[in-house]
A and B are shown apart, each in its own frame.
Chain A
């Protein structure tokens, strides 16, 4: 078999393109993200947390998706958890809360480092989509992307109504925390 110069050139080019697309086109995924909610009023503090959030970051397109099954949020009071799913989130009808966005283009995700950036996109809660820009801390080190963010969501923005009887116990604005690690997809 004789390899012509052109073929070798072509092969090198292909290899180059592949390797380039590999560094630029890498993706990160994580499946054990911690997603917490916190409601605070003078009468009552309510917290719940899920450790079953999933996330994906595609470096090339800067696309981010974070998703959590609503029913995986755990409360210390199970009856409260049932009411959360049944009366407020309607989890049988809307089983997921999802954020789909694009990372601020001023940051080069190909390099290790710590970044504070904005992710803008659509937050979907209780079947209602809202355009959001969410500030986020990201650190990238040796193929592990660590994310940490905290933001507020108004119940009314997502058609979640709080009846007058429990109005004093549930905050109108809920703090949401997302943290966890994503690793490079091989």
Chain B
């Protein structure tokens, strides 16, 4: 009996010593218990910019960030309007665009812009509903885009724009993307365009479209980007007298901390979805491809107000 108790107490003491010893020794396990950064975390920078080539990406502006975008589409490289006579299209500007995108919150962006084509003004809202997560969370990003186009030019004839509302077009798109690896992101985006003017004989006013886009990073700051929008063979009939083509754009995107330069080739003459989805009349096969570029500059507004001085950055 006595021996038993003695044995029990000895073991207990030994156990206690061992226990405190183990508990005390392992700083790594103490750290592991404190780590709060486990569980699903959002995936950042699925695309570097809010546009891929022609189409939008799922990215939105960061809160209070203003993006000034200038985009240029030149003329046909080949074919009747191209070749050395126009310096492979560089003499012509098929469309010009200047626009501002502003982040109301990290997920909600409003934008305004103006294109040369039809003197179209655009007003758009873009809302990020879902954000991809790593560690077993949401698998994809999901962003909604709504864009109104307003044609400001004089009518070509008396019957055009008979009603003022004919000047407006509306484009709605759901964008779904996934960053598959740190280099590769893919996107699919169904959309619907409603318009009141400009449709050719037999072409429906409203078009359902399906777009695909991708980004492949070549280095940390240089990416190959491409997008393609299916317009024909969906809601557009195959037997139109005038030939329309599906817009395809490819390009290189260079990011330099606040600036993004995008150098592209595409068959679309026009820059705004409301114009290029319905009106791409050039083909990659017939010299209708053109060079284009975008310069994007990001400005952070209201950044240092009511902020912790330890977070403040300053540009001299």
A residues neighboring B (CB under 8 Å): 1-4, 6-7, 10-11, 13-15, 17-18, 21-22, 25-27, 29, 31, 34, 36, 42-49, 52, 54-61, 63-65, 67, 69, 71-72, 74-80, 82-83, 85-87, 90, 92-93, 95-96, 100, 163, 165-166, 169, 185
Contact check, A7 vs B6: say whether CB atoms are below 8 A apart.
Answer: yes
Residues of A within 8 A of B106 (CB): 78
Total A-B pairs, Cβ < 8 A? 174
For the complex, count residues of B whose C-beta is within 8 A of A.
56
Q: When the two chains form their complex, are residues B27 and A58 in contact, meaning their CB atoms are under 8 A apart?
A: yes
Q: In the assembled complex, how far is the CB of residue A76 from the closest CB belonging to chain B, in whole angstroms?
A: 5
Query: Nearest 5 A-B pairs (CB), nearest first?
Result: A14-B13, A25-B24, A78-B62, A56-B30, A69-B37
- Minimum distance in angstroms from A124 CB to a CB of chain B: 13
Give the shortest distance, in Å, between A28 (CB) and chain B (any CB): 9
Distance between B74 CB and nearest chain A CB, rounded to angstroms? 26
Residues in chain A near residue B41, CB distance under 8 A: 71
Which chain A residue has the least Cβ–Cβ distance from B45?
A86
Which of A2, A47, A67, A169 meets B257, CB within 8 Å?
A169
Q: B153 on the interface (CB 8 Å rule)?
A: no
B256 touches A166 (CB 8 A): yes
Which residue of A is nearest B298, CB measured? A79
Q: Please determine whether A7 and B37 come into contact, CB atoms closer than 8 angstroms.
A: no
Bound form: Cα–Cα A93–B43 in Å: 12
Whether B313 contacts A75 by the Cβ 8 Å rule is yes
Selected from A44, A60, A80, A100, the residue in CB contact (under 8 A) with B25 is A60
Q: Given A7-B5, A45-B313, A69-B37, check contact A166 B257 (CB 8 Å).
A: yes
Instruction: Tell me the bound Cα distance from A96 to B28 in angstroms.
Output: 14
Q: Are A54 and B312 in contact (CB under 8 A)?
A: no
Cα(A112)–Cα(B30), bound, Å: 22
Inter-subunit contact B304/A76 (CB<8 Å): yes
Contact B44 A22 (CB under 8 A): no
Query: Does B134 count as interface, using CB distance less than 8 angstroms?
Result: yes
Q: Is the CB of B303 within 8 A of A76?
A: yes
Known: A10-B6, A29-B31. 19 other contacts (CB 8 A): A1-B5, A7-B2, A10-B9, A14-B12, A14-B14, A18-B16, A21-B24, A27-B24, A31-B36, A45-B316, A47-B309, A47-B310, A58-B26, A67-B35, A76-B300, A77-B62, A78-B62, A85-B44, A100-B28
A90 to chain B: which residues have CB within 8 Å?
A: 182
Task: Say whether B313 contacts A18, CB under 8 Å.
Answer: no
Docked Cα-Cα span, A69 to B65, in Å, equals 25
CB <8 Å contact, B24 and A78: no
A95 touches B310 (CB 8 A): no
Contact partners of B45 in chain A: CB under 8 A: 82, 85-86
Query: Can you name 7 A-B pairs with beta carbons within 8 Å?
Result: A18-B16, A45-B313, A54-B31, A58-B26, A60-B24, A93-B182, A185-B30
Residue in B closest to A80 when the chains form the complex, CB atoms:
B313
Contact of B13 among A18, A31, A85 (CB under 8 A): A18
CB distance from A8 to the nearest CB of B (A): 10
Question: In whole angstroms, what is the CA distance A60 to B30 when docked?
Answer: 14
Of the residues A4, A42, A63, contact of B27 by C-beta under 8 Å? A63
Contact indicator A47/B313 (Cβ below 8 Å): yes
Q: How far is the CB of B303 from chain A (nearest CB, A)?
A: 5
* Chain A residues whose C-beta falls within 8 Å of the C-beta of B44 in the assembled complex: 82, 85-86
* Docked-complex contact A92 and B27, CB < 8 angstroms: no
Q: Which residues of A contact B309 (CB under 8 A)?
A: 47
Considering only CB atoms, which chain B residue lies closest to A28 in the complex?
A: B30
**Known contacts A11-B9, A48-B311, A76-B313; A92/B65 CB under 8 A:** no
A79 contact from B27, B34, B62, B221, Cβ within 8 A: B62
B85 within 8 A of A: no
Q: Is the Cβ of B17 less than 8 Å from the Cβ of A36?
A: no
Q: Which of B16, B257, B311 contacts A49 (CB 8 A)?
A: B311
Q: With A and B bound together, what is the CA distance between A26 and B63 in angstroms? A: 45
A90 to B217, CA, bound (A): 14
A36: contacting residue among B23, B258, B310, B314, CB under 8 A: B310
* Residues A76 and B307 in contact, CB atoms below 8 Å apart: yes
For B61, the closest partner residue in chain A by CB is A79
A106 CB, min distance to chain B CBs, angstroms: 20
Residue of A nearest to B41 (CB): A71
With contacts A21-B21, A22-B20 taken as known, whether A65 is within 8 angstroms of B257 at the C-beta atoms is no
Bound CA–CA A73/B20 (angstroms)? 35
Q: Map CB proximity to A onto B45-66 as digits: 1 under 8 Å, 0 otherwise.
A: 1000000000000000011010
Quick one: closest A residue to B67, CB to CB? A79
- Tell whether, in the assembled complex, residue A44 and residue B65 are in contact, meaning their CB atoms are under 8 Å apart: no
